[in-house]
């Protein structure tokens, strides 16, 4: 198996640093690796596998000879460099929303829809963070009983909005406790001791872009019919890291809570914590810094036919971004889908 030459684009950001860490954790084999960023961060140092690397400014020529790029540098940066990467024969695994709904771009969660990787033409999209943890839960259930309807409410940590948002929660909390004025910059409302029912801008249908990402990406990844009814409400909560989701699913046939537990216990990347009588259920503190999607509160839904309700939490920086990116990279290497071999 040929070892690829790898680049991490956006290496100094919150997600980029996680990608670097997980690349080492998963033992990704490579011929060479480089770390790229904007001009502002170029020159900074990154320690990887005990060696120190200098971060380089990303330019088109940075991708000469590069086989796989793991990118988390924002949509505009990805749109700028993706054509340059593809033109040079490379594959970009992109964390931004820039290409997710493009018809010819596979939207992939490793171990959920790996076969879609074979369709790539140089660009592979990583789903939204909320979608990622949800799909690992839904896919094995959908294989047992087809999903007819889905309602999701997400409670999303500030780390999903970047380092500035993490700092804003910390500073806003201190200001609130000390009864001092504070100017919000990252959020439209104060984030400390508050829940904000808006993530991203509103669309004409009254949903936010974040909510519609969950709707549309779920259909694309699970290959659901376009008319499958899916609804999502996304809220930002004063938690530093870890997204939580309340999920209500209607299936095409009856499936019991015990069946759901057993299916999920045997599924990749899932850990079931579901003994509410002893106060055992997953929280974001369980998830932060860890790889599994944790699932609990599994019960029969009283409002939906053949319905199940559950609660799931995950580290959004890992499951929702960095971990899936590196897992996709590993799959691309194992399947030999770089160096033009998929074309």
Question: Strand 230-236 to strand 51-54: parallel, antiparallel, or no bridges (unpaired)?
Answer: unpaired
- Judged against a pLDDT cut of 60, whether residue 258 lies above it is answered with yes
What average pLDDT does this structure show over 90-107? 95
**Token pair belonging to 125:** 């999209």
Share of the chain above pLDDT 90, in %: 94
Confidence of residue 14 (pLDDT cuts 50, 70, 90): confident
Specify the pTM: 0.92
- Judged against a pLDDT cut of 60, whether residue 27 lies above it is answered with yes
Domains of the chain, first to last? 5-126+321-334 (3.40.50.720), 131-316 (3.30.360.10)
What average pLDDT does this structure show over 268-279? 97
What average pLDDT does this structure show over 157-183? 96
329 is an active site residue: no
pLDDT score recorded for residue 1: 73
Token match 């579901």: residue?
274
Give the active site residue among 120, 142, 232, 243: 243
243 is an active site residue: yes
pLDDT score recorded for residue 341: 53
**pLDDT tens across 315-329, in order?**
998 898 899 999 999
**pLDDT tens across 60-71, in order?**
999 999 999 999
């Amino acid at each position: 198996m040929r070892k690829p030459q790898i680049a991490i684009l956006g290496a100094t950001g919150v997600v980029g640093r996680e990608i670097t860490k997980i690349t080492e954790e998963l033992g990704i084999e490579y011929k060479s690796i480089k770390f790229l960023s904007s001009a502002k961060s170029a020159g900074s140092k990154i320690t990887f596998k005990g060696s120190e690397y200098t971060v380089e400014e990303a330019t088109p020529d940075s991708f000469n000879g590069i086989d796989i790029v793991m990118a988390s540098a924002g949509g505009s940066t990805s749109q700028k460099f993706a054509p340059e990467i593809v033109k040079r024969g490379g594959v970009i695994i992109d964390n931004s929303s820039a290409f997710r709904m493009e018809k010819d771009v596979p939207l992939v969660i490793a171990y959920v829809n790996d076969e879609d990787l074979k369709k790539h033409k140089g660009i592979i999209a990583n789903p939204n963070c909320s979608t990622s943890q949800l799909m690992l839960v839904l896919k094995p259930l959908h294989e047992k009983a087809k999903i007819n309807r889905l309602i999701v409410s997400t409670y999303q940590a500030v780390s999903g909005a970047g380092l500035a948002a993490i700092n804003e929660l910390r500073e806003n909390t201190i200001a609130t406790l000390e009864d001092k004025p504070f100017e919000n910059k990252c959020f439209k409302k104060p984030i400390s001791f508050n829940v904000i029912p808006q993530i991203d801008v509103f669309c004409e249908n009254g949903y936010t872009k974040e909510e519609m990402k969950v709707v549309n990406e779920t259909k694309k990844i699970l290959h659901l019919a376009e008319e499958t009814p899916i609804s999502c409400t996304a809220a930002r909560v004063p938690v530093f890291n870890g997204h939580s989701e309340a999920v209500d699913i209607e299936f095409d046939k009856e499936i019991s809570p015990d069946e759901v537990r057993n299916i999920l216990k045997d599924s990749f990347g899932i850990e079931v914590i579901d003994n509410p009588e002893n106060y055992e259920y997953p929280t974001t503190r369980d998830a932060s810094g860890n790889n599994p999607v944790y699932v609990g509160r599994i019960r029969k839904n009283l409002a939906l036919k053949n319905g199940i309700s559950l609660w799931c939490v995950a580290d959004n920086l890992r499951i929702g971004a960095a971990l899936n990116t590196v897992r996709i990279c590993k799959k691309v290497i194992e399947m030999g889908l770089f160096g033009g071999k998929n074309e």
